[in-house]
């Protein structure tokens, strides 16, 4: 009978055996499994088939319940398979990967490494936090905060803009609406999202919600005289909408500008497309992980690039490879608040628009980096004014030249627009035309499925 249990799996990343009644040891394994990818904990028997000291089902269950209470927050087991053996009771307990970060009573955060439970490093803890959903965190009441800590002027401005965006929506009493959007609890205590969106001084309670701008006079962190340092430093505090506005004003002041005449019209051309910079800034504010303390959003302007870094890395299933096609809101209530406010024009299209605007302005596409527990957008100010079709014309058919001309005039082309340009050509042929220009580096594909469009690369 014992071999039936040991034949399941050898001890490893998702399998552990504890033969004796030791709630502390069980708790360590529960925490490690919950913080990692889950696993199966075999109780009452050793990996070699030796039955331990669990004498009855009740004693086994009591030990597990005692272990669960040693976890902060408690780890819930999801499945039990129990057997009665000659020497006592044996069980297999299934633990799933948790949506929360768990620790032991003494504060240790454990993860599974091979067949061992080991303490997580500080960087691992931040990475674990970044990979957990934070929707419930947005709804948590802020300890010590009261309704008086919310700014009614900011709330009134939000309500006005929300009503303009949704004119048919019913007008609710102010505090009732704040409760409906998760900014205020039923006891009129500000939540995390409420304080961040509408607080008078959110940084008194969440100092990590600030942002910092630094300008360097080199491609490296150097000041005006070439020494290590910076030319200008500004710190932005207040509610998130105010942080966005104040940071944008400083960035606008520091960007190089020049006058360009097109036809009879004079235009001001900025060092970076303003829409791309605003998208990167708003995304950093909207999607950072506000659970990570000790670090705010950083905006660094060098002579050749601008870097906007937000704590928290990429959330959930988002990776650098699927960043354009997939969309996920780490902070759905904050994102919706900024959308209603007008800081986000169309949900889910920020990265697409940033890439498109940079390329249309003659810059390289933005570079995205995600080292560990932070995410960085890098905008380069190198500009190629010679982007045109002439070098490629001899290698393209007449349809592709027509598509390229359309892109130059309108900024982008979709599959349906290409079919309208060439109504007598099959859809598959036109699709292959566009795919060919993407493969050769002439066009850049943006979006997915019905939202797909092509711009000059």
CATH number of the domain at 113, please.
Answer: 3.30.950.30
Residue partners of 315: CB distance under 8 A and separation at least 6: 130, 131, 133, 134, 287, 289, 328, 330
Domain assignment present for residue 450? The answer is yes
DSSP lists the bridge partners of residue 77 as 95
Q: Report the SS3 class of residue 278.
A: helix
**Residue where a domain terminates, one of 181, 204, 227:** 204
Structure tokens at 384: 């190629």
Last residue of a domain, one of 94, 120, 146: 120
* 98 shares a domain with 184: no
Same domain, 25 and 168: no
Angle between helices 240-254 and 152-165 (to 10 degrees): 80
DSSP string, 15-44: EEEE-S--HHHHHHHHHHHHHTT-EEEEES
- Domain identity same for 265 and 376: yes
Examine residue 169 and state whether it is found in any structural domain, yes or no: yes
Is 429 part of a structural domain of the chain? yes
In angstroms, the Cα distances linking 316 to 34, 126, 229, 422, 446 are 16, 14, 36, 41, 22
Write out the two tokens for 19: 């033969």
Indicate whether 132 belongs to any domain: no
Instruction: Give yes or no: residues 214 and 354 share one domain.
Output: yes
Q: Report the length, in residues, of the chain.
A: 457
How many whole angstroms from its chain centre is CA 41?
32
Q: How far apart are CA 268 and CA 283, in angstroms?
A: 25
Q: Tell whether 213 and 80 lie within a shared domain.
A: no
Mean of pLDDT values over 83-87: 65
pLDDT value at 398 more than 80: no
Q: Say whether both 351 and 242 belong to one domain.
A: yes
Question: pLDDT (tens digit, 9 = 90+) per residue, 258-299?
Answer: 766 555 565 678 899 999 999 999 999 999 989 887 889 999
Residue 129 lies in a domain: no
Domain for residue 126, yes or no? no
Residue numbers of the domain that contains 99:
2-120
What pLDDT, on the 0 to 100 scale, is given for residue 6? 43
Structure tokens at 71: 């976890």
Collapsed DSSP state (helix, strand, coil) of residue 47: coil
Mean pLDDT confidence for 133-139:
72
Total domain count, the chain = 4
Alpha-carbon gap, residue 360 to 226, rounded angstroms: 33
In this prediction, residues 18-41 reach a mean pLDDT of 90
Higher pLDDT, 142 or 232: 142
Residues 369 and 395 in one domain: no
Q: What is the mean pLDDT of the chain?
A: 83
Q: pLDDT band at residue 2, thresholds of 50, 70 and 90?
A: very low
Residue 183: its pLDDT value, please? 95
Q: In this structure, are 370 and 395 located in the same domain? A: no
Same domain, 187 and 73: no
* Residue 130 belongs to a domain: no
Say if residue 25 is in the same domain as residue 90.
yes
When pLDDT is averaged across residues 448-452 and rounded to a whole number, the result is 77
Strands 367-369 and 443-446: unpaired
- Is the domain of 323 the same as that of 343? yes
Q: Where are the alpha helices (DSSP H) in 181-239?
A: 192-198
Segments of 343-446 assigned E as strands: 367-369, 374-380, 443-446
CATH code assigned at 394? 1.10.10.10
Query: Is 80 exceeded by the pLDDT of residue 1?
Result: no
Closest listed residue to residue 222, CA positions, set 138, 319, 300 = 300
Of 106-115, 214-223, 274-283, 408-417, least confident by mean pLDDT is 214-223
- Which residues does 332 contact at the CB level (< 8 Å), separation at least 6? 135, 138
Asked if 47 and 177 sit in the same domain, the reply is no
Instruction: Give CA–CA dist 230/133, Å, rounded.
Output: 36
| DSSP for residue 46 | -
């Amino acid at each position: 009978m014992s071999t039936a249990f040991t034949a399941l799996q050898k001890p490893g990343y998702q399998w552990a055996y504890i033969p004796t009644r030791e709630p502390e040891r069980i708790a360590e394994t529960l925490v490690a499994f919950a913080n990692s990818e889950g696993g199966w904990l075999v109780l009452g028997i050793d990996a070699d088939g030796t039955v331990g000291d669990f004498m009855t089902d009740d004693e086994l269950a009591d030990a597990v319940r005692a272990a669960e209470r040693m976890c902060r927050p408690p780890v819930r087991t999801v499945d039990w398979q129990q057997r009665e053996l000659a020497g006592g009771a044996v069980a297999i307990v299934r633990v799933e990967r948790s949506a929360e970060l768990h620790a032991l009573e003494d504060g240790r955060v454990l993860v599974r490494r091979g067949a061992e439970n080991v303490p997580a490093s500080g960087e691992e803890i931040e990475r674990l936090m970044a990979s957990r959903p934070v929707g419930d965190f947005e709804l948590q009441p802020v300890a010590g905060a009261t309704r008086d800590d919310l700014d009614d002027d900011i709330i009134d401005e939000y309500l006005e803009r929300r009503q303009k965006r949704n004119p048919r929506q019913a007008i609710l009493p102010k505090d009732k609406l704040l409760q409906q959007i998760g900014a205020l609890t039923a006891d009129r205590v500000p939540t995390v999202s409420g304080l961040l969106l509408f607080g008078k001084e959110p940084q008194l309670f969440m100092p990590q919600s600030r942002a910092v701008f630094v300008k360097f006079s080199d491609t490296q962190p150097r000041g005006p005289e070439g020494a290590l340092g910076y030319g200008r430093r500004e710190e932005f505090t207040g509610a998130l909408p105010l942080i966005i506005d104040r940071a944008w004003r400083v960035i606008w002041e520091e960007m190089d500008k020049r006058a360009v005449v097109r036809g009879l019209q004079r235009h001001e051309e900025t060092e970076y497309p303003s829409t791309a910079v605003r998208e990167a800034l708003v995304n950093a504010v909207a999607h950072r992980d506000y659970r990570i303390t000790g670090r705010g959003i950083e905006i660094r302007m060098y002579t050749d690039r601008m870097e906007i870094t937000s704590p928290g890395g990429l959330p959930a299933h988002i990776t650098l490879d699927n960043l354009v096609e997939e969309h996920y809101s780490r902070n759905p209530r904050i994102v919706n608040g900024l959308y209603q406010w007008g800081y986000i024009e169309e949900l889910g299209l920020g990265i697409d628009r940033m890439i498109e605007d940079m390329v249309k302005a003659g810059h390289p596409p933005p570079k995205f980096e995600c080292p560990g527990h932070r995410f960085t957008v890098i905008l380069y100010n190198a500009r190629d004014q010679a982007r045109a079709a002439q070098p490629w014309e001899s290698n393209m058919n007449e349809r592709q030249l027509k598509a390229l001309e359309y892109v130059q005039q309108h900024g982008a082309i979709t599959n349906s627009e290409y079919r309208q340009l060439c109504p007598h050509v099959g859809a598959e042929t036109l699709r292959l035309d566009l795919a060919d220009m993407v493969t050769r580096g002439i066009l850049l594909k943006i979006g997915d499925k019905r939202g797909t469009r092509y711009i000059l690369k």
